[in-house]
Structure formats: C-alpha cells, structure tokens
Amino acid sequence: MKYFNANKKNALNNLEKVLNARKSKQQNQSKIVKKLLLDVKKYGDKSVLKYEKRFSKLKTNTKKIKFSKEEIKQISKKVDKNLKRSIDIAFARIKYFHTKQKFSSFKYKDKFKNELSYKYSPIERVGVYVPGGTASYPSTVLMNCIPALVAGVKNIFLTTPALGTSVNPAIIYAAKKCGVKEIYKTGGAHSIAALSFGTKTFKKVDKIVGPGNAYVALAKKEVFGEVGIDMVAGPSEVSIIADKQSNPEWIASDLIAQAEHDVFAQSILITDSKELIKKVNICLKIQLSKLPKKDIAYKSLKNYGLAIYAKSKKDILNVVNHIAPEHLEINYSNYKPLIKKVRNAGSIFIGKYSPEAMGDYIAGPNHVLPTSGSAKFSSGLSVSDFLKRHSLIKISKSGIARLGPSVINLAQHENLEGHAYSVQIRLKERN
C-alpha cells in the first residue's frame, strides 16, 4: 500500500488527487453503450442475443433467454444443504431488518380545514441485475430483492449471465426464495437495455437495481429517465480507522477482503500509529501469498491501497469525511466520539468483531451502498427505494378564501395569469 501523511500542508487536496487517479483509469465506453441501447430498443430479443454472443463468446444458437419454471425448480434442488441453510438465515435477517424501515402515511387538517397528507405505494415492476462473470453472488440477489419484496413490489424480474453456461444454483434458489417472477439468462449492458425498453421476452420494468461492470453502470446511467435506477456504483471500497491497539492481522484481512473484489477496488487504512502501518504491511504480504485471488488483490492494493497516517482524531475525521467511503470500519479503542462526527459513509462497522464481510452477507442492513465519494449525498439501498410517495391535497372553501389571494399575488408576480385565474374563478363563486 502507498503511504500518505495527512498532517502535511494541503493534505486533503493531495488526497483528492490520489483518489481521482483511480476514477480516471476506469474506461469510458459510453459510445458503445449508447449504440447498444438503441439497437436493443429497435430490434429487441434479436439484439440481446447478438450482444450476448459477442460479449460472452456464446457458441450456442439457443433462443431460450428465460428460465422455465421447471428449470428453476430443478436448479434450486442442486444447492448444497449447508449453503441453503446459510441463505435461509441471511434471508430471514435481511428481511427482518428491512421490515423495521417503516414509512407511515400521515394526514392532518390545518386551521383552515385543508386536508394534507402523504401516502406510499410500491413500484409496480423492478428489474434486478446480478453479475455472473468472474464471480456470482447470491448475496446480491438477497440484498436487491428483499427490500423490494418488503416494499410490496409484486413483479420482480432478475437477469444474470447464464445463457449457454452453467448458472450458480444458489442464485436461482435465492431468487426463488425472494419471489422473483421471471429470471433471464443474459448479462451485460444489453440486459439493462432489455429491462428498460422491454422485448418479446423481457418485461419492461419501472426501476433497475443491482451492480455490474463498467458497461452495466454506463447503461444504467444512460437509461435513467426511461426507468429509475438505484445508483451508478463504482468499484468497491473500504476505509478502516485503527489505532496501535488494533490487531494488525485482522486489519490486513479486512483490507484484503475488499481488494479481492476487483483490481480497481480500494482499501484504505487510516491510523495514528506508524508502527501499526508497518505491522499491517507485513501481514498483508503473508496473507496475500495464501489467497486464491491474490493477483486481483495484489493489483488493487498496489495501485489503489493507501495507508494514511493522521496524528489526531480531528485529522482522522477530516480524512474519512473527505473520502466518504462505501464501507467504514472503526477499529479504534475509544470509538464513540468518532462515530458521532462521521458524516460521510455508506455503512459503518463498529468494533473489532465487525468486519465488513458480516455486512456483506448476514448482519441485516443492505450492502448496496454509495461508492466513489457519493456517500456525501446518498445512502444505501432501502425499502424507500421501492416506494413512491404521493402528496394528497384537499383545500376547503375557507382554505381557498384565506390562502387564494396569496396564490394570486405569487402567480401574477411570476407572470402566470392562468394560475392566478384558476384561483380567482373559484373565489368569485363565493360572492
């Protein structure tokens, strides 16, 4: 990991340059994606199959894009019983946490007897994208589908790369458990297009959620407006606040856990102990040598890993809030004052027994979180992302009489005479 001193002059400006280096190296393929989207919009399933064959090097001529009910049933049976039990436990915990996210409607009358209220209704159709390239994640199914299920979404459709290849049975089992209506066998930006516009096979949805590669992220960005999206997520990241009392082996393992996701993933250690930095670096070398995905993790740590030295809690907090990490671990002896002053983070893990991996799978809160500094203005996926909020307004006769003249004044000030007249004509009725 690269060493960075947060106590030097213009430290945060220099840190920003380091963070931006990761962003700039991610390739922008927007032209390709735009052409692909138009192609799928025009030609539907034909284009979906064309791009699936091109990008996944598919050799089969199959046109069966959707899993049949019998396929789903049979594939679900292939899940190992221990894995199935773990999925069941994760499902129950995640669902329970999300049921606690209550969004109550409310209604009140003001002093003019106007009735004003909110009500909520679920989105009708949601599309979930689940990656299936270098890795395949049943946890992604649970985290994206469960809040939709709790919100009351009746139609959840899922797509994952599986055409002409073997699909991870755990993904199918998790999708079935979450009540997914249909499962499609394709991945990539063309699947985002198919969900956005609809095809003969793909149902058109109202919102798309779920992570993916750079092409998928760009496709989601481009279709926003045609459909809703959860966020444009970048590579995964973790920042860990630690002190000299922290176990360097544990800290190293948490840094590696994030780094093994992607060569663009970012693992950052923030500490007031130079000695800890030395010990963690030693542990990283030892643990990396035994890691199945050591090549990915090594590149991530070498290119984007940071060990940031900050003398004081104030400096530590300035760094954290500037980074606004997707995941923040606070592995610090006196952590309570730090928690209170953390403003920017997707999810916060407190104490030495709370590795980020617990949140990824089974703790309960959602692991779909803002990345690349977007935690400064956004939050992780929740039930609210699958609900629409409606304002209900009922103005009384006395209400329009008392408030109408102010509306007329404001409308005329903005040169909107039609607005003003729509109130004036009702006031005349009372005379």
Which runs of consecutive H residues, i.e. helices, occur in 159-312? 169-177, 189-197, 214-223, 248-259, 274-288, 294-304
Q: Which of 52, 327, 356, 367 is catalytic?
A: 327
Q: Which of 52, 260, 326, 329 is catalytic?
A: 326
Pairing of strands 387-394, 115-122: antiparallel
Residues 308 and 268 sit within 8 Å (Cβ to Cβ): yes
Q: Catalytic: 356?
A: no
In angstroms and rounded to an integer, the radius of gyration of the C-alpha atoms of the chain is: 25
Residues 268 and 239 sit within 8 Å (Cβ to Cβ): yes
Residues 370 and 326 sit within 8 Å (Cβ to Cβ): yes
Q: Catalytic: 327?
A: yes
What is the side-by-side order of every strand in the sheet holding 106-109? Answer: 106-109, 115-122, 387-394
Residue 242: burial class (beta carbons within 10 Å; 0-12, 13-18, 19+): buried
Beta bridge partners of 266: 237
Could you give the CA distance from residue 154 to residue 157 in angstroms, rounded to a whole number? 10
Residues 181 and 157 sit within 8 Å (Cβ to Cβ): yes
Could you give the CA distance from residue 429 to residue 431 in angstroms, rounded to a whole number? 6
**Residues labelled catalytic:** 326-327
